[in-house]
Amino acid sequence: MKLTILGCYAATPRTFTNPTSQLLEIKNRFFLIDCGEGTQVQLRKNKIKFSKINQIFISHLHGDHFYGLIGLISTFSLLNRNNDLHIYGPKGIKEIILLQLRLSNSWPNFGLHFYELESKESELIYEDDKVQVKTIPLKHRVYTNGFLFEEKIAERKLNVEAVRHYQIEKCYFQNIKNGKDIVLDGGTVVLNNLLTFDPEKPKSYAFCSDTVYNEAIVPIINGVDVLYHEATFLQSEEQLAAKTMHTTAIEAATIAKKAQVSKLILGHYSTRYSTIDLFKAEAATIFPNVLLADDGLSFDL
């Protein structure tokens, strides 16, 4: 699981900082999360192949989280994309994109599928054989979701020496990997745990931006490996955070602690701060394992 931060600053794109977008690589799927203005250039700078992206998740309809989407879709078209593209985001996103495609008379030559979200409860919105994605309802000035990416429990790993020892034929291997016991020709039952090792623990990643401090998300993200949580402000701007429905670094760390996550990554910094070091210092007073996102940084998780 690898996370590439394309942009992690709030509000406006600037010369050296970008609004929210990140690429999550998980089990060879490439999920784009949010798509602020300039995301396609950030993808180029980070040498990410455009054609690998098939799913885009948009948290909410504030510009710093989606103004780059229409441009990215148009560029997909110009690059003669064939693969279908699936977009998950708040109700209204389809109308915004289709209106612009219609008025520019540039309908894409690939399938464009929208999954509009309006539920206030966590829901499963994407699933394949290895990964699933659920929404994390957040509280912000407009309808907003975070996203929980979870690997599914993989099949058990074959103990090659053991199956050889019991002279088990290949045609039974898939059953064994699925957890089944085996009955030998003489009637002896060999328990599955003699024939397999535990699979790798499935990993999970939770993206939570933008939101006011909201303990209601704790049960949903409980125990995730990595939590990305917005921290727009430092403690000195606590009042402003509440007023604008954002979170401070200390509040983000409190959520991380209550949800017993393994790692916390902070981002969505207000552009008022000349350095982001204090975000880590403040969060670390509550929760030890804090990392700071920054544009162009990659995390191997």
Beta carbon nearer to its own copies, 61 or 190: 61
Q: Is 140 marked as a binding-site residue?
A: yes
Q: Is 62 marked as a binding-site residue?
A: yes
Beta carbon nearer to its own copies, 106 or 119: 106
Site membership for its own copies, residue 108 (CB under 8 A) = no
Has 34 been annotated as catalytic? no
Least Å distance between CB 243 and its own copies?
A: 15
Set 34, 64, 129, 225: catalytic member = 64
Residues 80-99 that bind its own copies (CB under 8 A): 90, 92, 95-96, 99
Site membership for its own copies, residue 289 (CB under 8 A) = no
Q: Pick from 104, 174, 222, 298 the residue near its own copies by CB under 8 A.
A: 104
Burial of 131 (0-12, 13-18, 19+ CB in 10 A): buried
Q: Is 65 marked as a binding-site residue?
A: yes
Q: Is 60 marked as a binding-site residue?
A: yes
Site membership for its own copies, residue 68 (CB under 8 A) = yes
Q: Quick one: which segment of 6-14, 110-118, 165-173, 254-262 binds its own copies (CB under 8 A)?
A: 6-14
- Return d(Cα 301, Cα 278) in angstroms, integer: 23
Q: Pick from 51, 106, 119, 236 the residue near its own copies by CB under 8 A.
A: 106
Q: Is 64 marked as a binding-site residue?
A: yes
Of the candidates 62, 63, 71, the one whose C-alpha atom is nearest the C-alpha of residue 42 is: 71
Residues 19-48 that bind its own copies (CB under 8 A): 37-38, 40-41, 44-45
Beta carbon nearer to its own copies, 89 or 137: 89
Residues near its own copies (CB under 8 A) are: 11-15, 37-38, 40-41, 44-45, 61-63, 67-68, 70-71, 74-75, 78, 90, 92, 95-96, 99-100, 103-106, 141-142
Please give the annotated binding residues for Zn(2+), written as ranges: 60, 62, 64-65, 140, 210, 268
| Residues tagged active-site | 64
Please give the annotated binding residues, written as ranges: 60, 62, 64-65, 140, 210, 268
